[in-house]
Structure 1
Amino acid sequence: MLDSINVGTSGLLGYAKGLRVIANNTANLNTPGYKAATLQFSDLFYAASQGAGGGSARLGYGLATGATQLDFRQGDLRQTGNDFDLGVDGEGLFVLQTSDGATRYTRAGQFEFNQDGLFVNRGDGSKVMGIDANGQATDIKLDGLRSAPGKATALARFTGNLSSTVTSHTVSAVKVNDAIGEEHNLSLKFTSTDTATGAWSVEVLDGATSIATGQLQFDDGKPTAATSKLQFSYQPANREARELTLDFSSDVTSFASGNLSTLAMTAQDGLPPGNLVKVGFDAAGKLVATYSNGDTVKGARLQLARFRTLDAVQAEGGNQFVQANGLSWETGGAGEGAFGAVRAGVLEISNVDLSREFSDLVVLQRGYQASSQVLATANDMLQELFRMKAK
C-alpha cells in the first residue's frame, strides 16, 4: 500500500507539471512567435514481485515526466500595418545578437531602427543580424543610406510627331542632370533638309550655345535605325563630361500634321540628389531605402537560421530561442534553399491550438482526480490495517 501511495503521488506530480505546461500555453495564446509545448509522459521502472505458486509479477512504480517538446508549426501571419513588423512565411528564424554577444533566434519580428540607425529588437534592444553581399554576418543600419547622390542623365527618350509639313521645330524644356544631379535645361532645334526624303538636321543647345549636332532620317514616317539615336559628350560648366544619348527610336513619327508638332521628351534616367523618405524590406529580406527623388537603394539582407532537429533548440523566454545540446544551425537568406520568404507589416502569432489545450486539460484533470482517489483509497486501507492491528 505504501508503494501505491508513491505511485499515486508520482501521478499527482506528473499531472501538475502537465497542467503547468498547458497553463503556459494558454497564457501565451496571443504572444507573437510563441511555440506551444507538450510535456512528455512515460512510465517509471518496473520491479519483479514474487507471487503465489512461484510465479513473478512485474509491478510499475508510477508516472515519470520527460522533456517538453516544442511545436514549431507556423502560426498565422497577422497584419499590423507597421513596416518593421516582419514575419517569415516558411522555415527560418530571425537572428539576434545581444549586448554581450550572445546569439538568440526568434519568430517574433517586432523590430525597429533605434536612434543610432541600427535595426534592433523592440523588446530588448538586441541587434537584428543581416548578411552582406559577400554572405558575411553584418549589422543592419542606416549609415550611408540617409541621402542619395544625384545621377547624371545617360539616356533621354522622345515621343510624338514631327510634322513633315513644317521646315523647323524646337523642343524646349529638355531637362537633364549632370554628374552631381544638378538640373540643366537643353533645347533641340530640328531643321528640315530634304522634305522629299524626310531628312532633318538636329542641333542641341545649352542656352544659346550649340553643344552637338546630328541627323535624323525618316523612312515611311519612322526614324531609321542608323539615325534614331543621337549620342554626344555633354560637359556643363565646372562638371565632368558624360555621354548623353537622345533616343527617338520608339513612338516618334513624322507625318503631315500642319503646323502642329507634338515631339517632346517623355523620360530620362538622371536624378537630382534625394533624401531618405522610407525604409522597408522586400520578400528576399533586403533592406530597401526609398528617396525623395524616386531612387531606391538596397542594403543588407536579413539573416535567417534554421535547425535540423528539435534537439537543437531551446526556449529561452522573451519570444526567443537558443541553440541546445551543442548542435549547429544552418544560416542563410530568405528564399534560399529551405528558408521561407520575409513578409513586411505582419507578425506571426502564437500557434497554440486552444481547443486542443482544453481537451488535454480535461484529460489531465481526470488523471489528477484518479491519482488522488488512489491515494485516498490506499490511505483508507492503511487506516483499516492500523485499526486491525490495534485490536
Structure 2
Amino acid sequence: MLDSINIGVSGLLGYQQGLRTIANNTANLNTPGYKSSTLQFTDLFYSNSNSGGRTTQLGYGLDTAGTRLDFSQGDLRQTGNDFDLAVDGEGLFVLKDDQGQRRYTRAGQFGFDGEGVLVSRIDGSKVMGLDSAGRSVEITLDGVRVSPGKATSLARLTGNLSSTGTEQTVSPVKVFDASGQEHALSVKFTNTNATAAGSWKVEVFDGATLVGTSQVVFVDGEPTPATSKLTFSYAPAGGTAQSLTLDLSADVTSFASGNLSTLAMTSQDGYAPGSLTKVTFDAAGTLVATYSNGQTVKGSRLALGRFESLDAVEALGGGEFREASGIPWTVGSAGDAGFGPLRAGMLEISNVDLSREFSSLVVMQRGYQASSQVISTANDMLQELFGMKHK
C-alpha cells in the first residue's frame, strides 16, 4: 500500500508538470515567435517476481521524459512596421548577444539602434547578416545613409527629326555634373543634306557656350550605327570635364513631316545627391535603402539558421534558442538552400493551438484526480489495517 501511495504521488508530480507546460503554452498564446512544447510521459521501472512458475511485473509509477518543442510555423500577422520580419518557411534569425554568443529566434521584432545597427527590440542583441563572401557581419546603415550624386554619362533622345525641316533644337536636356548639380543644355540639329545626304550637324550648348559639335547621318530614316551615339566632353563652369553621350540609337527616325519634329530627351543616367528616406528588407533578406533622389541601394543580407534535429535545440526564453549537444546548425540566407523567403512588415505569432491545449488540460485534470484517488484509497486501506490491529 505504501508503494501505491508512492505511485500515486509520482502521478501527481507528473500531471503537475504537464499542467505547468500547458499553462506556459496558453500564457504565450500571443507571444511572437513562441514555439509550444509538450511534456513527454513514460512509466517507471518494473520489479519482477516469480511465484509458481508465473512472472509478475509491478510498476513504480509515472515519470516524465522532458518536453518536446513544436517548431511548426505560426500564422504571419501584418504589423505595418518595416523592421518587423518573418520567415515564411524554414529558418531562424541569427542574433549575437553582448557576450558574443550566437542565438536564434523566430521573433523578428527588430529595429535600428542609435548607432545604426539592427538589433532585437526584445534584448538588444545584434541581428547578424552575411556579406558577399559569406562571412558573418552586423546589419548596419554605415555606408548607406546618403546617396552621392552621379554625373550624367548618357542621355537618350527619341522621336522623329523631320527630314524636310532645316533646323531643330531640343531643350532642355537636363544633365548632372560630378557634384550632383543640374544643368540645362540644348542640342541644335541643322540639316546638312545638301552637303551629305541624310546628314545633320549636331551642336550642344550650355546656355550660349558651345560644348561641342558632331554629325548624325540617317539612311532610310534610321541613324547609321557609326553616328547613332555622339560623345562630347562637357566641362561645366567651375567643374571638371565629363564625357557625355547622346544616344540616338533607339526610336529616333528622320522621315518627311513638314517642319514638325518630335525629337525630345526621354532619359539620362545622372542624378543629384539624396538623403535616406526608407529602409526595408526584400524577400531574399537583403537590406534595401531608398533615397530622396529616387535611387535604391542594397546592403548586407540577413543570415538564417536551421537545425536538422530537435536534439540540437535548447530553449532560452525570450523567444530565443541556441545550439545544443554540440550539434552545429546550418547557416544561409532567405530563399536559398531550403530556407524560406522573408516577409517584411509581418511577425510570426505563436503556434499554440488553444483547442488542443484545452483538450490536454482535461486529460491532465482527470489524470491528477485519478492519482489523488489512488492515494486516498491506499490511505483508507492503511487506516483499515490499523483499525484491525486495535480490535
Q: TM-score, normalised by structure 1?
A: 0.96
Corresponding residue number in structure 1 for 2:305: 305
Query: C-alpha distance in 1, partners of 2:280/2:55?
Result: 72
Shift of 1:161: 1.9
In the TM superposition, 1:80-95 aligns within 5 A as 80-95=79-94
Runs in 1 of length 4+ with deviation above 6 angstroms?
Answer: none
Corresponding residue number in structure 1 for 2:222: 222
Is 135-144 or 228-237 further displaced after alignment? 228-237
Query: C-alpha distance in 1, partners of 2:258/2:110?
Result: 62
Instruction: Give per-residue Cα distances to partners, 1:219-259, cap 9 Å, x unaligned.
Output: 33332333221123333344333322211122222233333
Aligned residue-pair number: 390
Corresponding residue number in structure 2 for 1:63: 62
Query: Does residue 11 in structure 1 map to residue 31 in structure 2?
Result: no
What are structure 1's unaligned runs of at least 5 residues?
Answer: none
Query: Does residue 115 in structure 1 map to residue 150 in structure 2?
Result: no
1:275 maps to a residue whose letter is S
Query: C-alpha distance in 1, partners of 2:139/2:245?
Result: 38
Query: C-alpha distance in 1, partners of 2:258/2:390?
Result: 131
In the TM superposition, 1:280-359 aligns within 5 A as 280-359=280-359
In the TM superposition, 1:1-391 aligns within 5 A as 1-51=1-51, 53-194=52-193, 197-391=197-391
Instruction: Give per-residue Cα distances to partners, 1:34-91, cap 9 Å, x unaligned.
Output: 001011111100011344x242301110110011110111111111110000001111
Q: Secondary structure at the match of 1:194?
A: coil
Q: Secondary structure at the match of 1:135?
A: coil
Question: What is the aligned-residue RMSD (CA, Å)?
Answer: 1.6
Query: C-alpha distance in 1, partners of 2:139/2:119?
Result: 8
Shift of 1:293: 0.6
What are structure 2's unaligned runs of at least 5 residues?
Answer: none
Query: C-alpha distance in 2, partners of 1:49/1:176?
Result: 98
Instruction: Give per-residue Cα distances to partners, 1:335-376, cap 9 Å, x unaligned.
Output: 221211111000001111111111111111121111112111
Shift of 1:23: 0.8
Shift of 1:210: 2.1
% identity of equivalent residues:
69
Q: Secondary structure at the match of 1:30?
A: coil
Query: C-alpha distance in 2, partners of 1:344/1:65?
Result: 40
Q: TM-score, normalised by structure 2?
A: 0.96
Q: Secondary structure at the match of 1:226?
A: helix
Query: C-alpha distance in 1, partners of 2:15/2:82?
Result: 43
Q: Secondary structure at the match of 1:231?
A: strand
Query: C-alpha distance in 2, partners of 1:361/1:226?
Result: 83
2:106 maps to a residue whose letter is R
Is 352-361 or 215-224 further displaced after alignment? 215-224
2:286 maps to a residue whose letter is K
Query: C-alpha distance in 1, partners of 2:337/2:179?
Result: 41
Query: C-alpha distance in 1, partners of 2:47/2:111?
Result: 59
Query: C-alpha distance in 2, partners of 1:158/1:92?
Result: 48
1:111 maps to a residue whose letter is F
When residues 54 and 385 of structure 1 are mapped into structure 2, their CA distance, relative to the original with a 3 A threshold, is farther
Query: C-alpha distance in 2, partners of 1:235/1:66?
Result: 79
